[in-house]
Structure 1
Amino acid sequence: MRHGKLTPAALRKYGFITSFLAVPVLLYVVFVVWQYIQAFQISFTNSRGISPKFDYVGFDNFTQLFQDDVFWAAVRHHVVLLLAMPLITIAIALFFSFLLNLGGGQRNGRMVGVPGSAFYKIVFFFPQVLAVAIVGVLFQAILRPDKAGVFNSALGAVGIDPVGWLIAPGLALWTIIGVMVWQAVGFYVVLFSAGMATIPKDVFEAASLDGAGRFTLFFKITIPLLWDTLQVGWVYLGIAAFDGFALVQVLSVDRGGPDNATTVLPLEIWRNAFTYSKYGVASAMGVALFFMTLTFAVLTLRVTRRERIEF
């Protein structure tokens, strides 16, 4: 490039890159961006989804939304999910990742994981290969409220009465959160293990030689050096907390019950669109969910931002 002008070689290079990007970008605009634009448009209409005819109703759908107790119940459940699911998942995944990569201490002058680490990584990752619907059906059997359920059968063996894991309003949401954590932990064990693999072993070995114990290695060295990966994991888990549709749909009583104790916004979007044919209201919920997710991601990246540690 000379005097701000592209040379023929540069033009050929950028033309080659553009030829590869043009089709994927076009597909993304058509099937993703345009659908968001349409959702915003439909949220201002009284569309029922069964006819191309509709009227614009302004902010009526949003007004109806903010006066709906079920909508606010779903929002409260998302707040609980945002606080509990990422925190529990990251804590468990970090603990296991540390054990599998550094928990074995020094062996032949090198930091290693606990015996059998390679096998444990496969075991922890196994839930990720199962479809969400399969996980839901599996835990339906495990969490049955009678003695035929796996958990209640184990409790009955020690003389404890069956627990209504999914039918008790105060317990159902936390039970589903537990299933979400069980399914997610394996992925983040692998993610954090990959992050730990990028940290030079010399850092841990030097700290260990200086007398640092596992507690110090974990909190003073591993977490600070893994902060960028933790930040990404928190955002991913937060976005997952705004979803939860499939597991709630399969596991909950009456799809979001009992008494709306487990309902979430994606489930209410589905219900309004495909059960009540209120596509305008469903789209308004989708727009609200979009801004909630976007706000969460921006605030999380902003609040958790810190100076990058070079090593």
Structure 2
Amino acid sequence: MQKEILLNNGVKIPTPGFGTFLTPDGATCVEAVKSAIAAGYTHIDTAAIYKNEKSVGEGIKESGIRRDGLFVTSKVWNTERGYDKTLKAFDKTLNDLGLDYLDLYLIHWPANNLQYGLGADSLNMETWKAMERLHEEGLIRSIGLSNFMQHHMETIMRRANICPMVDQIEYHPGFTQKESVEFCQKNNILVEAWSPLGRGNVLDNPILKSIAANHGKSVAQVVIRWVMQTGVLPLVKSVTPSRIKENIEVFDFELSQQEMLEIASMKSDRIGADPDTCDF
């Protein structure tokens, strides 16, 4: 199991990544990012809507790590869709993070027909064209999507000059969005898993507890390893230094085919919004 994955544009992305969703702005976020980098994470994921980009940037700065030793991701929020607004939103994100460039920038959610009717596809495309421009100007090394399902991706790819490199989606035991994942893998688009632990809902699962006991690992470590063995990049979040460290210690064991099948047989509901029906 490699610690880096090659994207379709030749850029290497480290796995697992460190997520900062719901990490409050301020000292908590700064210390969490510093702890993650100290533990060995070199991939940090944030977003404008998390309202913690300044603290993420401060954590990076205080860590003392060289910029080229990190892979930093952020996302453009729904209110900033469209060509000009995306360019402006990116400038603010870069300024808040205190960086000269991003390694990955994502459209956080697709505009959907429920909110925008026949204009949804055009709005997504305008946003993507701004992303392509930023990529071509060297301000973003890689561009991608988040929460895009197959039909959303198809409309982008029909008119895009640059194929998306990533799609970040809800993905955890029992909820794996098979159609979207298979489409991405067929088109050499890396799938990233947000909330791979199901916001903690999987931690008491008896199947996972049994597998964890067999390996002398925690349930969280088993799930993170499972995600990686399915070819997906997990984004794991914690503000507790010991758990931050534990969550990256997943390279010294391997799940068997039988264990992979047992986890694949689990059933779980979506915990986030449905991209086709969300109204934010």
TM-score, with length taken from structure 2: 0.23
- Larger relative CO (CA 8 A, sep 6+): 1 or 2? 1
Q: Please identify the structure whose Cα radius of gyration is greater.
A: 1
TM-score, with length taken from structure 1: 0.21
